[in-house]
Amino acid sequence: MSLRVGRAQASQEDYYLGGRKIGHWAIALSILATQSSAISLLGTPAFVALKPGGGMLWLQYEFAVPLAMAVLISFFIPVFYRLSITTIYEYLEERFGPTARLVLASVFLLGRSLATGVSLYATAIVLSVPLGTSLSNTLLLVGGIAILYTTIGGIKADIYSDIIQLIILWIGTLVLVASVWNALGDEGYAVTNIPVERVQVFDWSHHGMGDGKTYAFWPMLLGGFFLYLSYYGCDQSQAQRLLTAPGPPVVQKALFLNGLLRFPLVLTQCVLGLLLASYITQNPDFLKEIPQGNPDFLVPTFLTSHVMTGLRGIIMASLLAAAMSSLDSALNSLSAVTLRDFGRYFRNGNIVLPHELSLARGLTVAWGILCTLIGFLFSKSSSTVIELVNMAGSLFYGPVLGVFLLGILTSRTKERGVVAGLILGVLGNLFLWRYLPGVSWLWWNPVGCLLTVIFGGGISLLWEGPKTMHLQEWSLKDKFFRLPAVYCLLLLVFFVFTIVSSLWLEGSIRRAILLD
């Protein structure tokens, strides 16, 4: 498929944006697939079934998704589409200046390459168990295939392969759910043997501001809202898919669909975790099979020893699909930012047309190799390092979001102010990490954003200068803002529905356990 798509490409726009002709269903499903990495497929059930202090509390994180989608389709997308851009950091130069663009682009390149290498390494760990291969060979297998088809086919191949991978992923998850259910034997025991503490969805009594409760309702809802808003709207790996659409209405439909589809996918993974918790209760010796007692090995261990041949292959295919759907988007976006945001400073900003496509593909290969090498470096590290790197993402998401909010919602913010605000926002999060460890890391996202907005806007007032609101001028009568009002209302209704249905689910399972 990548070979066929690649033959039709003639420019950077084709390679990075698919000619701006991708439909809303394809974009929505591609984003959903990218979010559903092998880590989420393995980590979510492990969190629900085994992690101390875990359980169905993870669902609280998903309630923030429709709220974030509502804000993105209302404010971010119409602004981005008023400019013909390939990367969202091009907008920052138009709004603030070249320094802001380069600083944010550099933050993205550093953070995304590191996160991609870590994701590749973590994926290789869990895949090497059921495959029976060495960690090095698994790294080369997953990384090599992703580099190959991403380099040849560009973003269009990524999007359409993501759709196939999402279907395989969901089927594999359902097959795994059915396998655990079958292993439980009796339908009644499947539910009644679930530890009651694993059923809790909501933690209303804690706040995560020093009480040691990271996964309470408010830090997960508000922290998740800021994180998702930044990730979907201010991270090139996700935003690049949005820019492949022919116009704002298509993107708004895609985000609306993503806001609806993500919850049932994550719910499927959480149900798998509950069933595995029930299986562990019935078979306590199974815990001894998990290497080093690491919860992340729960699913691959069950897959290796308790799933029949054939079905095991389907689930392995879903794990590989989940891994590559996350890697391909990262590689293409890293290449795009390098060429568009930094390549412009060579040859006076102009790449010779006959060579631009080859250069784009060469950069994709280079980033793929670098991310694979990062994966090898982390293969020499402990699991605690991976946890620290994943938390480090929240150091930047809030401040980066604050920069874009200052650009979209204010008129007097200057480049010096916004860069200083970004730095102070990150430093504020580092302070929380170092000196206030009792504060949930989920709070870093709103705190970092707030600090960036306050200091970025305040420092900008120290310098005189003209208003720069011309890029953000819009009216509620604009055609782009009529349909989003309907989408936002429906997303709010869905937000309420997810909370009510989760309360019902928790209550139903609790009653079944107590009646037994």
Phi first, then psi: give them for residue 411, nearest 5 degrees: -115, -20
pLDDT of residue 345: 64
Paired tokens of 256: 């609306």
pLDDT, greater one: 402 or 190:
402
Compute how many other C-beta atoms are within 10 angstroms of the C-beta atom of residue 500: 10
pLDDT of residue 447: 94
Question: Does residue 252 have a pLDDT over 70?
Answer: yes
- Exposure string over 100-127, b if 16+ CB within 10 A, otherwise e: bbbbbbebbbebbbbbbbbbbbbbbbbb
pLDDT, greater one: 36 or 180:
180
- Exposure string over 205-217, b if 16+ CB within 10 A, otherwise e: ebbbeeeebbbbb
The residue written with tokens 């990218």 in the block is: 34
pLDDT of residue 192: 80
Residue 28's closest CA among 248, 242, 333? 242
Mean of per-residue pLDDT scores for the chain: 83
The string of pLDDT tens digits covering residues 121-177 is 777 776 777 778 888 888 888 888 888 888 888 888 888 888 888 888 888 889 899
Strand partners, 209: 439
Q: What is the pTM of this model?
A: 0.88
Which whole number is the average pLDDT over 4-29? 85
Question: Does residue 217 have a pLDDT over 80?
Answer: yes
The residue written with tokens 């663009």 in the block is: 101
Whole-angstrom distance, CA of residue 312 vs CA of residue 304: 8
Residue 295's closest CA among 471, 34, 48? 48
Paired tokens of 329: 């988007």
Superfamily of domain 2-515: Sodium/glucose cotransporter (1.20.1730.10)
CB 494 within 8 A of CB 443: no
| Residue 496 pLDDT class (50, 70, 90 cuts) | very high
| Residue 479 pLDDT class (50, 70, 90 cuts) | very low
| Residue 381 pLDDT class (50, 70, 90 cuts) | low
Question: Does residue 255 have a pLDDT over 90?
Answer: yes
Domain boundaries of the chain, sorted by first residue: 2-515
pLDDT of residue 353: 47
- Exposure string over 349-371, b if 16+ CB within 10 A, otherwise e: eebeeeebbebbbebbebbbeeb
The string of pLDDT tens digits covering residues 272-321 is 999 999 998 888 888 888 866 677 778 888 888 888 888 888 888 887 77
Residue 163's closest CA among 235, 80, 241, 46? 241
The residue written with tokens 């997303």 in the block is: 491
Whole-angstrom distance, CA of residue 425 vs CA of residue 458: 13
Question: Does residue 204 have a pLDDT over 80?
Answer: yes
In a 13 Å sphere around the CA of 261, the CA atoms on its Cβ side amount to 20
pLDDT of residue 166: 87
Whole-angstrom distance, CA of residue 271 vs CA of residue 395: 31
pLDDT of residue 358: 83
